[in-house]
Amino acid sequence: MGGVYGHKAVGYPVLMTTKGTPGRVVRIDDATWAAYGELCKAEGTSRADDLRRHAHARVAAWNKAKKQRNADLIGRMSTDKPPAD
């Protein structure tokens, strides 16, 4: 991590939002973006909040799966018998 605020340097534009979190640039066609805005409005949320929740859920599931794979590996390693002499 580097910089004054401890954010990692990246090779793409990052805008700071009014809430102090880095803004991100995504490429989504206009028709999809407009429909997504309508969908989010109908659900009482914003596109930004919906994207954040989706990203958090995906990362949480990924971390859970990694933790389970590690636990499985450690379990298999601890049940391995030493080679017979």
pTM attached to this predicted model: 0.63
Residue 60's pLDDT is 96
**Residue 74, φ and ψ in degrees, nearest 5:** -65, -40
The pLDDT assigned to 65 comes to: 95
Series of mean pLDDT values for 10-residue runs along the chain (85 residues): 54 66 89 97 96 96 93 79 63
In the prediction, which pLDDT does 64 show? 94
pLDDT at site 84: 63
